[in-house]
């Protein structure tokens, strides 16, 4: 039995800047993959986040209404968790599509519609660089800890040697 | 002389059955949180049990989507 769902998806502004259609398709394709029928999908808003998510201070909200089998949502959630362009999502069962939603969604599909580019106050590229910088640092930090332990052990040994040498001197 | 223990006037005495309780309306929901972003009590909001529950759920959903802060 299909159920009508309301889905709000938080999209990465970098993906929106690159291509809004592809960023939107990341969500709609995932819905279609799991048997969802998208009734409405539109850009709800672009705004500053109340707290940073994955280093992003702003994000674009995509509001969708879709029909899907109840059992398929688990697989959908798993795919959305993996999808990097989706920062966060909220899927709720709903009874009906609000008035005006379908019209707004249709207006976005028309040829003349253009998504305003997100403001550049969150410094595009910076979070990715930080993430890249954090990636290699992880193993390096682990390696450095091991090195430190090895150094401590190696430091201990010379101390003994020094003590032994001191004893010898004495 | 005013009793200091007397509860202050509720914010939303006639807001029950208000369709505006929606997680997307963060500006409206922010009226029912403290400056530290804590949800106000039922005594303070003036909502009935069901509406207070809807309010709590909506604020928590708004927090999840970073529309509202967890900590003010």
Give tens-digit pLDDT for B19-70.
679 999 999 999 999 999 999 999 898 888 989 999 999 999 999 999 999 9
CB pair distance less than 8 Å for A44 and B24 = yes
From the list B61, B68, B70, the residue facing A90 with the nearest CB is: B61
Burial B41-51 (b: 16+ CB within 10 A, else e): ebebbbbeeeb
Instruction: Identify from B19, B21, B25, B66 which residue to disrupt to test chain A contact, counting A C-beta atoms within 10 A and taking the largest count.
Output: B66
**Per-residue confidence (pLDDT) for residue A108, from 0 to 100:** 85
Instruction: Identify from B65, B68, B69 which residue to disrupt to test chain A contact, counting A C-beta atoms within 10 A and taking the largest count.
Output: B65
Same domain, A20 and A49: yes
A167 CA to centre of own chain: 62
Selected residue with higher pLDDT from A108 and A23: A23
Same domain, A31 and A74: yes
Same domain, A26 and A97: yes
Same domain, A86 and A15: yes
Residues in B 14-53 with any Cβ partner in A closer than 8 A: 23-24
Domain that holds residue A149: 125-170
Domain count, chain A: 2
Transcribe A3-14 into DSSP letters.
Answer: EEEEEEEEEEHH
**Per-residue confidence (pLDDT) for residue A166, from 0 to 100:** 45
Whole-model pTM: value is 0.74
pLDDT over 60 at A156, yes or no: no
Q: How far is A80 from A90, CA to CA, in rounded Å?
A: 11
Same domain, A98 and A16: yes
A30 CA to chain B: closest CA distance, Å?
A: 19
Which three-class secondary structure state does DSSP give residue A142?
A: helix
A146 CA to chain B: closest CA distance, Å?
A: 38
Torsion of the alpha carbons at A128, A133, A138 and A143, rounded to the nearest 10: 160
């Amino acid at each position: 039995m299909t159920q009508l769902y309301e889905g709000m998806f938080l999209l990465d502004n970098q993906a929106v800047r690159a291509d809004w259609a592809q960023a939107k398709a990341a969500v709609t394709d995932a819905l279609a993959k799991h048997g969802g029928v998208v009734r409405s999908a539109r850009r709800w808003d672009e705004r500053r986040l109340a707290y940073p998510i994955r280093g992003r201070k702003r994000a674009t909200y995509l509001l969708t209404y879709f029909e899907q089998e109840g059992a398929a949502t688990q697989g959908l959630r798993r795919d959305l968790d993996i999808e990097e362009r989706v920062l966060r999502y909220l899927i709720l069962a709903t009874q009906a599509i609000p008035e005006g939603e379908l019209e707004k969604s249709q207006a976005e599909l028309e040829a003349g519609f253009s998504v305003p580019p997100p403001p550049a106050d969150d410094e595009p590229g910076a979070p990715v660089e930080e993430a890249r910088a954090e990636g290699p640092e992880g193993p390096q930090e682990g390696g450095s800890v091991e090195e430190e332990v090895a150094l401590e052990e190696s430091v201990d040994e010379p101390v003994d040697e020094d003590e032994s040498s001191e004893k010898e001197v004495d | 002389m005013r009793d200091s223990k007397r509860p202050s006037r509720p914010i939303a005495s006639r807001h029950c059955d208000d369709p505006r309780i929606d997680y997307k309306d963060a500006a409206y929901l922010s009226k029912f949180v403290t400056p530290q972003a804590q949800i106000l009590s039922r005594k303070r909001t003036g909502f009935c049990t069901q509406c207070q529950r809807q309010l709590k759920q909506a604020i928590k959903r708004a927090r999840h989507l970073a529309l509202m802060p967890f900590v003010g």
